[in-house]
């Protein structure tokens, strides 16, 4: 037991020291945010073609991630493996493209061998590199150098700190360039139609509501039994309660169960006694995002949906509210 406890403390101590190393390294990235970084952001913000990322090994993994981030933020971006560039993929590079090459050593043979060919084809070449005097840094039009770093782990050999810093720097480039391009939530939604934010900013209330034909209706003067019958008929767990042919509230099945405690037949209790009045109306063409802003922190679950003054459906906020 004592031996296991010692191993436990050793593991946590190693993890904490490694985390401190990474924290300090990320903090040091601030020293590299200079005129060169600004120029790279301006270049990415104005590029008319694609932003192409390339690298080998762990740098290739980071480059793929940065490429995905750029595309996610509205800048067309693709990853090209450095090895394949010399075997035909160079044809993907055009004079309108910016290429970002990643290599911590700056001397990766597979990358260095194609650099001159890449540079002659692309608009500009940016290097994210660890050594400012490396072949990659010297060849590039712009260099973002993170300097020498201490890799974490007992061997301090596997790319860890260096890849983390490269990824942070790449993410900073992507997010700053997106801001410079005035990329907003609506733009983000258009490229993420299947994501939650994309749906909130592209779908309207009418797209997700229960249409009136599918709703269960009952009257305030009807019994709760009749309301439950209407729910069963429409396979719903809530009834829209009307008065003088106007929707005035809802009666979820939870209230039906409460009423049943007083009258198990539900025939002697009026719906008016067990309903939740509507406090807010939504228009059917309202974006989900704006509808949720209108609803705010309200505890109510169901909201009537109108086309001008005509009731057209029922919106269940629990489907979308987090």
> What pTM does this model have?
0.76
* Residue range 223-251: mean pLDDT, rounded: 95
Residue 192: inside a domain, yes or no? no
Residue 95: inside a domain, yes or no? yes
Under 8 Å CB-to-CB from 263, ≥6 apart: which residues?
A: 224, 269
Residue 312: inside a domain, yes or no? yes
Q: Are residues 50 and 165 in the same domain?
A: yes
Q: Are residues 60 and 113 in the same domain?
A: yes
271 has a pLDDT exceeding 90: yes
pLDDT tens by residue, 177-213? 999 999 998 888 888 888 888 888 889 999 999 999 9
Q: Are residues 46 and 129 in the same domain?
A: yes
Q: Are residues 213 and 139 in the same domain?
A: no
Q: Are residues 175 and 301 in the same domain?
A: no
Which residue, among 58, 45, 112, has the nearest Cα to 85 in the 3D structure? Answer: 112
Residue 104: inside a domain, yes or no? yes
pLDDT tens by residue, 131-147? 999 999 999 999 999 88
Chain CA centroid to CA 311, Å? 34
Tell me, what CATH number does 273's domain have? 3.10.580.10
pLDDT for the residue 1:
44
pLDDT for the residue 199:
87
260 has a pLDDT exceeding 80: yes
pLDDT for the residue 186:
82
φ, ψ at 55 (rounded to 5°)? 175, 180
Q: Are residues 35 and 143 in the same domain?
A: yes
Tell me, what CATH number does 9's domain have? 3.40.50.10490
Residue 197: inside a domain, yes or no? no
- Give me the chain's average pLDDT, please: 93
Residue 193: inside a domain, yes or no? no
Instruction: Tell me if 146 sits within 8 A of 162, measured CB to CB.
Output: yes
Number of separate domains in the chain? 2
Q: Are residues 24 and 124 in the same domain?
A: yes
3-class DSSP state for residue 84?
Answer: helix
Q: Label residue 3 by pLDDT band (50, 70, 90).
A: low
Domain boundary among the residues 124, 156, 183 is at: 183
* Residue range 267-295: mean pLDDT, rounded: 94
Domain boundary among the residues 150, 183, 216 is at: 183
Q: Label residue 14 by pLDDT band (50, 70, 90).
A: very high
Instruction: Tell me if 69 sits within 8 A of 176, measured CB to CB.
Output: no
Q: Are residues 296 and 212 in the same domain?
A: yes
Domain range for 9 = 2-183
Domain boundary among the residues 126, 153, 183 is at: 183
Instruction: Tell me if 229 sits within 8 A of 203, measured CB to CB.
Output: no
- The DSSP code sequence of 238-293 is EEEEEETTEEEEEEEHHHHHHHHTT-TT-SSSBGGGS-EE----EETTSBHHHHHH
pLDDT tens by residue, 87-139? 999 999 999 999 999 999 999 999 999 999 999 999 999 999 999 999 999 99
Residue 196: inside a domain, yes or no? no
Q: Are residues 221 and 142 in the same domain?
A: no
Q: Are residues 292 and 170 in the same domain?
A: no
Q: Are residues 143 and 170 in the same domain?
A: yes
The Cα–Cα gap between 109 and 120 comes to: 18
pLDDT for the residue 188:
87
Q: Are residues 139 and 232 in the same domain?
A: no
């Amino acid at each position: 037991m004592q031996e296991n406890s010692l191993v436990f403390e050793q593991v946590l101590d190693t993890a904490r020291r490694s985390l401190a190393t990474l924290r300090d390294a990320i903090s040091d990235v601030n020293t590299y945010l200079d005129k060169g970084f600004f120029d790279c952001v301006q270049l990415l913000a104005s590029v008319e073609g694609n932003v192409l990322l390339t690298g080998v090994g762990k740098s290739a993994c980071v480059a793929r991630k940065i490429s995905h981030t750029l595309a996610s933020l509205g800048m067309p971006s693709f990853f090209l493996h450095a090895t394949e560039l010399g075997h035909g993929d160079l044809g993907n590079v055009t004079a309108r493209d910016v290429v970002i090459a990643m290599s911590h050593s700056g001397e990766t043979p597979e990358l260095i061998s194609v650099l001159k060919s890449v540079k002659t084809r692309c608009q500009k070449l940016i290097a994210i590199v660890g050594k400012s005097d490396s072949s990659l840094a010297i060849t590039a039009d712009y260099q973002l150098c993170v300097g020498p770093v201490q890799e974490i782990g007992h061997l301090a050999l596997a790319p860890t700190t260096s890849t983390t810093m490269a990824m942070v720097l790449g993410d900073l480039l992507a997010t700053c360039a997106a801001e410079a391009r005035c990329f907003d939530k609506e733009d983000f939604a258009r490229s993420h139609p299947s994501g939650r934010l994309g749906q909130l900013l592209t779908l309207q209330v009418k797209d997700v509501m229960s249409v009136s034909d599918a709703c269960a209706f009952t009257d305030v003067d009807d019994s709760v039994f009749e309301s439950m019958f209407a729910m069963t008929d429409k396979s719903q767990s809530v009834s829209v309660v009307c008065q003088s042919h106007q929707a005035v509230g809802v009666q979820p099945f939870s209230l039906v169960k409460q009423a049943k405690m007083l009258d198990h037949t539900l025939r002697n209790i009026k719906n008016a006694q067990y309903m939740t009045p509507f406090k807010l109306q939504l228009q059917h063409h309202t974006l989900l995002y704006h509808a949720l802003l209108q609803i705010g922190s309200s505890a109510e679950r169901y909201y009537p949906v109108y086309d001008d003054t005509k009731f057209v459906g029922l919106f269940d906020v629990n489907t979308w509210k987090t």
